[in-house]
Structure 1
Amino acid sequence: EGINMIAHSLQLKEGDEVIISKHEHVGGSAPWYALRGEGVTIKSIELDLSGKNNLQIIDESISSRTKVISISHVLCTTGLRLPVDEIAALCRRKNIFSCIDGAQALGMFPIDLEEINADFYVASGHKWLYGPKGTGILYISKDLIHDLIPPFTGAHSLRTFDLDDETLDYRETAERFEAGTQNTSHLLGLGSAVDFIQRVGFGKIENHRKELYDYMLKRLDKIKGISILSSRNMSTSTSIITFRPDHKDYQEFNKQLRKEFRCRCRAVHENNLNAIRVSLALYNSKEEIEKLTEGIEELAK
């Protein structure tokens, strides 16, 4: 919803170009592709999954028509963490809007919006925050709020409205994007999720992530018949490990993991990776990783 708001508020024109990666989630890419009917061009680029050259790849993809770069903080496909602060800085130097999809980042590690300094940052509340579905956040730079016309308008988005005079004036804050009455219970749930993450602390979350990630990598390395697609560098890896069965259909492989070993993973069809994503959450344990990797080893034979 947040990316849709941005895509339809920027008033892009025919011939304008938006750059995204081939690893974007449908929620982060479809809103931009929907603008093609208005003559907007979408350039989808491949990334370096090792994490080494992505800033250069993005820089070299920019043209004179590029108006927006919309990219994930953490790729939903392999869990690669991108240098979004450097990408946002590149956009500022070239007078391009920067939009960061933080759906797979928020709650996984600390996010400093002032340090990233992107024009827009969007994230979900139900993933690594463990909050209610149907919640999320949309950050908009204060420098841009006044220039954006919300795609939806209602009582909550207006500072003044006079039906007799037929005049309206938008609020000068992000509330201009909240058209109607919000779901109070969902918002309270989102706030409770944030409180929970803060009580646990990102130090404990990060230590747990590193321990599980390293443990699973070592176990996967011993399994024949699979390829690991995720980064091995702790500075660019996250809580997501993606692997591909070398000689088995990934969809069927994933179904068997769930049915025979009661391990729920996510099939990765994006960019034709034909792989399986494992998310190592705060509540997961080494014992669960052992059960999962035993299932992977059995099915990979």
Structure 2
Amino acid sequence: MFTISDEFPLVEGLCYLNHAAVAPWPKRASEAVMAFARENVGLGARDYPQWLTVERRLRERLMRLLNAPSTGDIALVKNTSEALSFVAFGLDWQMADQVVISDEEFPSNRIVWEALKPRGVDVIQVSLSGHDPEGALLAACGPRTRLLAISAVQYASGLRLDLVRLGAECQRRGVLLCVDAIQQLGAQPFDVQSCNCAFAMADGHKWMLGPEGLGAFYCRSDLREQLTLHEYGWHMLEHAGDYERRDWQPAKSARRFECGSPNMLGAMALEASLSLLEEVGMERVAAQIEERVLQLQEGLQQMAGIDLHSPLNPVRRAGILTFSLAGWDNQQLFAQLREKQIICAQRGKGVRFSPHFYTETGVIERTLAVLDQLRRG
């Protein structure tokens, strides 16, 4: 059984609260990459079949993390944006089709839909600021709505949506549900089947504790062949490896979206990181993140001049807590915190903290003490 100090050794004075941006790797991911590098130096690709075994384990872990029906529903992609582009430029759009999104989306889940304007697709942006954000999104879905594209958790506010409700209603209306899951996958349990997701995608470098450059794309099996492909290569073929075959066709599985050689280096790291999350268990991960967010929330609420911009109801958030401090410019406050080795981000209306399950209580206590000191001047 691992210990937190073994997997995430504390760096003196560093308070890392930025998992909603780019997360540190656990030690096991670093060791997997170093072992892979040593093997490449000494042996090259002699043991490539063993590398493929690691890649298969990665697909299996992602399948379980998403609760996908099979590994064939999972494609390994470069990032969330690539997967969103597969959907946006794969669907057969008709003039005046509509895509409904929120007005809080990260650019990845806005620009890709706005780029469809030349095809006659309208993008409807919906405010989530009311008491019923799901109701507002669904109210915007009319007879021309083809797809609802929404982040499971909004990157700036930390608002978590009821995907089960959205998915059930989308299914009833014949609307495709596309979920950018990057701020939930690895922080909270996520289930593509209970949410009736048509598509879901996420990078590995945030809550999944993996490297940049590798993510997951879930595509429901009945929709795979409906997405027109725009990338072709040896790896996405049904009979990949049969190099002399002339009658080819795209893979029936989601591998059809993986046109060329895999990111094997990233696979080594992400597979190791996901093994840690599985060892802990996602229910426990979510509970411990909530404990740390609550500790931050209670500490901030005791400070005069602090405004919280994230939901206070635990069912409405994952791991994000955003705040501002009266009399301080957000950029200035962020810079001061960073100078004090409080690693966070400036997002939306304020400064964003995002602890993970392993974040030590002492890290949060020091963060609150530094912030209080800055507040007092």
Pair in the same fold by TM > 0.5: yes
Residues 1-301 of structure 1: pairs in structure 2 closer than 5 A? 1-48=82-129, 52-159=131-238, 168-259=248-339, 261-268=340-347, 273-301=348-376
Shift of 1:28: 1.9
On the 8 A contact 2:161/2:316 being kept in 1, the answer is yes
For 2:366 and 2:239, the matched residues in 1 are separated by 59
2:335 partner SS = helix
Task: Please give the secondary structure, in 1, of the residue aligned with 2:316.
Answer: coil
CA-to-aligned-CA distance 1:173-197 (integer Å, 9 cap, x gap): 1011111111112122221121110
CA contact (8 A) 2:323 2:349 kept: no
SS of match in other structure, 1:188: helix
Secondary structure of 2:315's match?
Answer: coil
Partner Cα distance (1:198, 1:164) in 2? 41
Distance in 1 (alpha carbons) for counterparts of 2:265 and 2:337: 35
Alpha-carbon distance in 1 for matches of 2:264, 2:245:
32
Amino acid at match of 1:152: E
Q: Which has the higher strand share?
A: 1
Shift of 1:63: 2.2
Contact kept, 8 Å, 1:85 with 1:118, in 2: the verdict is no
Q: Structure 1, residues 26-68: CA drift from partner, whole Å, max 9, x if none? A: 122221122123222111111037xx41221111111222111
Amino acid at match of 2:199: F
Q: What's the secondary structure of 2:94's corresponding residue?
A: coil
- Counterpart amino acid of 1:101? D
Using structure 2 for the length normalisation, give the TM-score.
0.73
Q: Distance in 1 between matches of 2:113 and 2:374?
A: 38
SS in 2 for 1:42: strand
Deviation at residue 296 of structure 1 after TM alignment: 2.3
Query: Counterpart of 1:158 in 2: which secondary structure?
Result: coil
In structure 1, C-alpha distance between the alignment counterparts of 2:233 and 2:175, rounded to whole Å: 30
Report if the CA contact (8 A) 2:189-2:286 is conserved: no
Contact 1:265/1:276 (<8 A) preserved: yes
TM-aligned CA deviation for residue 16 of structure 1: 1.4
The one-letter code matched in structure 1 to 2:181 is: G
**Paired residue secondary structure (1:114):** coil
State the alpha-carbon separation in 1 of the partners of residues 178 and 160 from structure 2: 15
Letter in 1 for 2:366: K
2:239 & 2:209 partners in 1: Cα distance? Answer: 37
Q: Aligned partners of 2:320 and 2:243: how far apart in 1? A: 52
Bigger CA drift: 285-294 or 53-62?
285-294
Percent identity of equivalent pairs: 28
Aligned with 2:235: secondary structure?
A: helix
Cα distance change of structure 1 residues 164 and 234 upon mapping to structure 2, 3 Å threshold: closer
1:203 Cα deviation from its structure 2 partner: 3.7
Relative contact order (C-alpha < 8 Å, sep 6+): which is higher? 2
Residue 276 of structure 2 aligns to a residue in which SS? helix
The residue type equivalent to 2:99 in the other structure is V
Q: CA deviation at 1:144?
A: 0.7
Give the TM-score taking structure 1 as reference length: 0.91
Quote the offset at 1:126 in angstroms: 0.9
> Matched residue of 1:77: which SS?
coil
Compared CA separation, residues 92 and 284, structure 1 to 2 (3 A): same
In the alignment, structure 2 segments of 5+ residues that lack a partner are 1-81
Would you identify which runs of 4 or more consecutive aligned residues in structure 1 move more than 4 Å? 160-168
| Alpha-carbon separation, structure 1, partners of 2:152 and 2:159 | 8
Between the aligned partners of 1:129 and 1:103, the Cα distance in structure 2 is 9
